[in-house]
């Protein structure tokens, strides 16, 4: 339910303690509640009600005198953050119609009226088949006054009988209207002649109900017409009593406690059927006590902890942390604690009723779940470790295979320079034999030999850079490193009469990553294409490499006309150990490593497909 702060009235209900009786009357008539709170600064020091003023009007009070002299100074107040149930309990137990609402410092926050509570009471409290006759006392009677009597007579009658209203009737005893404390107050404030007929002051018509009507209908009528009392009639139309909202409140006081007790017992019966353990803890100012556990909770923890502190149940550290969160947020959700080496997940709320505050916890045993979760985590970690080891081994295996191929490439690259060096030595020997050997001839041949040696040394440097590991990402031109990879295997491609055609290489395509590892990925694609074309009878044999930009990504399309990939292998071509070259010693690591480099290390994407004459690989990388 809502707290009082949200529904209390705070405008037009207060006056300074120095106010006069006349000013208090005007304030009451303005706010329509028959109440004024007197303040010193912001602190309430007194309350004046219309019944008090009417009593003094009958005694001829001076309207210019200080109203504090008439006020009640023993105040019943309630804190602004208390629930409505507490306000209801105070209103009924003290037989009052108004409650002063204050804050922590005792400052006035607002005033709560009895009729406000009807809007917030649970309907179950009064929807119990109550009839009007259930609330009327057996000796109940209607106090009435003839329409010919004076206002003064009505005032005296109300004072003597200590009632808040009187029915005005005609000569036949029929109700014509009603005069209330508010009407008398208005007459006094206007300084009306109290010897005038009371019929001039009465309110009409009189709202009436029958004894057989349900109380729910009476409450609806009071709410709708904004009235505090109704006339009760017999079926024949004769008057038999007045029923006020105060009468209803006094009667349903017992219903509130009874309904709460029934609801609590019903809730506990339902909670006993639930598969989760539920623990209820009383939260008192000085301590907290476990006062109820459902069947599942008793099965989990036994009844040993009933009427004990939650600290004995879960330990001081866990309870203080949980309790602090509940007080701060009003609830907890998914809090894990360990009790006797078992894991539990707790959720719950802080609840209040008229007299008590309690914490209801739902306790779920997650020991098995946590054990399985830990086992799964261990298995995932182990699987990740083994996968990393396998990837490392496959990377090394791929590098070793590449190194073996590199030796072949070096042999291709060095074959012509070595032949030329051999020719230089033969020329030196012939020149010496035929007497043509001189200093100029020697210098020329030495220069030619040094050029051959420099070329061979540069080849070694190129291969060395290719295998150098990189730790930091850098920006580089993809075209440059594709050409470099082609240069490394060019001799081998020439040997097999394979032509490489690059389109779009006149532009620069920069990305960020590891250039040497990217070159290795391209080299793997070149080697696969060379192997496929070397076994093909197609002529001419071609590898086409296209560079372009698509949606802020660089596209490298790598195609050959070597016949394509087997349809059965195409969906899994990037998986480890998948190869079509078992007979020639293929390991199936090349394309797997290529995808690892492109997707995991470079943040790109690679896919394979067949076209009409061969296989295509498309690489997409971020453009910078």
* Contact of 245 with 222, CB cutoff 8 Å: yes
Q: Select the more confidently predicted residue: 258 or 319.
A: 319
State the pLDDT confidence band at 356, using cuts at 50, 70 and 90: low
Question: What is the per-residue pLDDT across 545-584, written as a single tens digit (0 to 9) for each?
Answer: 999 998 889 999 999 999 999 998 999 888 877 776 655 4
Question: What is the per-residue pLDDT across 424-445, written as a single tens digit (0 to 9) for each?
Answer: 788 788 888 888 888 888 888 8
Output the DSSP codes for 579-595.
-S-TTTT--S-HHHHHH
Question: What is the per-residue pLDDT across 446-468, written as a single tens digit (0 to 9) for each?
Answer: 887 887 787 677 667 655 655 55
| Angle, in degrees to the nearest 10, between helices 439-466 and 478-488 | 120
Nearest residue to 126 (alpha-carbon basis) of 219, 12, 10, 47: 219
Kindly report the length of the chain.
Answer: 624
Instruction: Give residue 368's pLDDT.
Output: 82
* Contact of 250 with 133, CB cutoff 8 Å: no
Instruction: Determine if residue 191 is left, alpha or beta; phi over 0 gives left, psi from -120 to 50 gives alpha, anything else beta.
Output: left
Q: Select the more confidently predicted residue: 216 or 556.
A: 556
* Contact of 158 with 166, CB cutoff 8 Å: yes
What angle is formed at CA 120 by the lines to CA 119 and CA 124, rounded to 5 degrees? 105
Domain positions in the chain: 4-119, 124-252, 274-365, 366-466, 469-624
190-211 mean pLDDT? 90
CATH class of 124-252: alpha beta
Q: Where are the beta strands (DSSP E) in 462-591?
A: 474-477, 498-503, 510-513, 541-550, 553-560
467-480 mean pLDDT? 80
Q: What is the pTM of this model?
A: 0.41
The SS3 call for residue 345 is strand
Question: What average pLDDT does the chain have?
Answer: 83
**Dihedral (Cα; 543, 544, 549, 555), 10-degree rounding:** -30
Residue 71 reports pLDDT greater than 50: yes
| Separation in Å, CA 142 to CA 8, 118, 165, 235 | 34, 25, 10, 16
- How, if at all, do strands 108-113 and 98-102 pair? antiparallel
CATH-assigned architecture of domain 4-119: Roll (3.10)
Q: Select the more confidently predicted residue: 456 or 17.
A: 17
- 10 Å CB burial of residue 217 (0-12, 13-18, 19+) is middle
- How, if at all, do strands 498-503 and 541-550 pair? parallel
The SS3 call for residue 393 is helix
The rounded distance, in Å, linking the Cα atoms of 32 and 194 is 22
Q: Which long-range contacts (CB under 8 A, 24 or more apart) does 68-75 make?
A: 68/17, 68/18, 68/19, 68/38, 70/21, 71/38, 71/46, 71/47, 72/46, 72/47, 72/48, 73/45, 73/46, 75/44, 75/45, 75/46, 75/47, 75/100
Residue 178 reports pLDDT greater than 90: yes
The rounded distance, in Å, linking the Cα atoms of 292 and 623 is 66
Decide whether 4-119 matches 124-252 in CATH topology: yes
What does CATH list as the number for 366-466?
Answer: 1.10.287
The SS3 call for residue 408 is helix
Nearest residue to 517 (alpha-carbon basis) of 572, 460, 574, 472: 472
What does CATH list as the number for 469-624?
Answer: 3.30.565.10
- CATH number among 3.40.50.2300, 3.50.50.60, 3.40.50.970, 3.30.450.20, domain 274-365: 3.30.450.20
State the pLDDT confidence band at 55, using cuts at 50, 70 and 90: confident
Instruction: Give residue 14's pLDDT.
Output: 95
Question: What is the per-residue pLDDT across 123-174, written as a single tens digit (0 to 9) for each?
Answer: 545 555 678 888 887 667 888 999 999 999 998 888 888 888 899 999 888 8
Nearest residue to 248 (alpha-carbon basis) of 347, 61, 115, 424: 115
Nearest residue to 368 (alpha-carbon basis) of 358, 356, 380, 376: 376
Residue 233 is encoded by which pair of tokens? 């009639």
Residue 196 reports pLDDT greater than 80: yes
């Amino acid at each position: 339910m809502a707290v009082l702060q949200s529904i209390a009235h705070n405008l037009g209900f207060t006056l300074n303690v120095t106010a006069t009786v006349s000013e208090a009357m005007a304030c009451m008539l303005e706010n329509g509640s028959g109440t004024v709170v007197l303040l010193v600064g912001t602190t309430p020091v007194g309350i004046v009600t219309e019944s008090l003023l009417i009593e003094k009007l009958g005694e001829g009070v001076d309207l210019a005198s200080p109203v504090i002299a008439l006020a009640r100074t023993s105040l019943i107040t309630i804190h602004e953050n208390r629930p409505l149930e507490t306000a209801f309990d105070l209103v009924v137990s003290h037989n009052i119609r108004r409650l002063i609402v204050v804050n922590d410092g005792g400052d006035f926050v607002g005033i709560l009226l009895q009729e406000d509570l009807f809007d917030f009471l649970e309907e179950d409290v009064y929807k119990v088949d109550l009839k009007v006759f259930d609330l009327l006392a057996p000796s109940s009677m209607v106090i009435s006054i003839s329409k010919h009597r004076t206002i003064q007579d009505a005032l005296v009658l109300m004072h003597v009988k200590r009632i808040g209203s009187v029915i005005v009737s005609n000569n036949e005893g029929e109700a014509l209207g009603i005069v209330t404390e508010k009407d008398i107050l208005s007459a006094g404030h206007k300084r009306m002649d109290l010897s005038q007929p009371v019929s001039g002051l009465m309110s009409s018509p009189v709202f009436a109900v029958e004894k057989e009507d349900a109380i729910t209908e009476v409450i609806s009528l009071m709410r709708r017409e904004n009235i505090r009392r109704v006339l009760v009639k017999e079926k024949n139309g004769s008057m038999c009593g007045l029923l006020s909202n105060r009468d209803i409140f006094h009667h349903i006081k017992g219903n509130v406690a009874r309904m709460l007790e029934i609801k609590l017992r019903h809730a506990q019966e339902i909670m006993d059927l639930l598969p989760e353990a539920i623990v209820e803890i009383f939260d008192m100012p000085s301590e907290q006590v476990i006062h109820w556990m459902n069947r599942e909770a008793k099965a989990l923890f036994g009844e040993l902890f009933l009427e004990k502190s939650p600290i004995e149940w879960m330990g001081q550290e866990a309870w203080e942390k949980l309790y602090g969160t509940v007080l701060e947020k009003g609830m907890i959700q998914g809090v894990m604690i360990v009790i006797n080496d078992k894991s539990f997940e707790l959720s719950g709320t802080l609840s209040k009723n008229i007299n008590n505050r309690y914490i209801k916890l739902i306790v779920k045993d997650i020991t098995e779940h946590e054990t399985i979760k830990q086992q799964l985590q261990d298995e995932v970690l182990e699987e990740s470790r083994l996968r990393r080891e396998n990837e490392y081994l496959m990377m090394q295996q791929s590098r070793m295979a590449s190194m073996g191929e590199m030796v072949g490439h070096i042999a291709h690259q060095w074959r012509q320079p070595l032949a030329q060096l051999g020719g230089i030595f033969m020329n030196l020997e012939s020149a010496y034999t035929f007497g043509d050997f001189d200093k100029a001839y020697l210098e020329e041949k030495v220069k030619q030999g040094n050029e051959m040696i420099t070329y061979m040394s540069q080849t070694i440097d190129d291969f060395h850079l290719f295998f150098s590991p990189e730790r930091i990402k850098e920006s580089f031109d993809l075209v440059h490193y594709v050409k470099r990879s082609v240069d490394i295997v060019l001799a081998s491609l020439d040997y097999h009469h394979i032509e490489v055609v690059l389109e779009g290489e006149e532009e620069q395509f920069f990305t960020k990553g590891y250039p040497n590892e990217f070159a290795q990925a391209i080299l793997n694609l070149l080697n696969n294409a060379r192997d496929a074309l070397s076994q093909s009878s197609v002529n001419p044999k071609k590898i086409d490499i296209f560079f372009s930009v698509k949606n802020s990504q660089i596209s490298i399309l790598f195609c050959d006309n070597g016949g394509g990939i087997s349809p059965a292998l195409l969906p899994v071509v990037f998986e480890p150990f998948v190869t079509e070259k078992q007979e020639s010693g293929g390991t199936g690591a090349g394309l797997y490593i290529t995808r690892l480099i492109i997707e995991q290390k470079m943040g790109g994407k690679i896919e394979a497909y067949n076209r009409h004459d061969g296989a295509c690989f498309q690489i997409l990388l971020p453009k910078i």
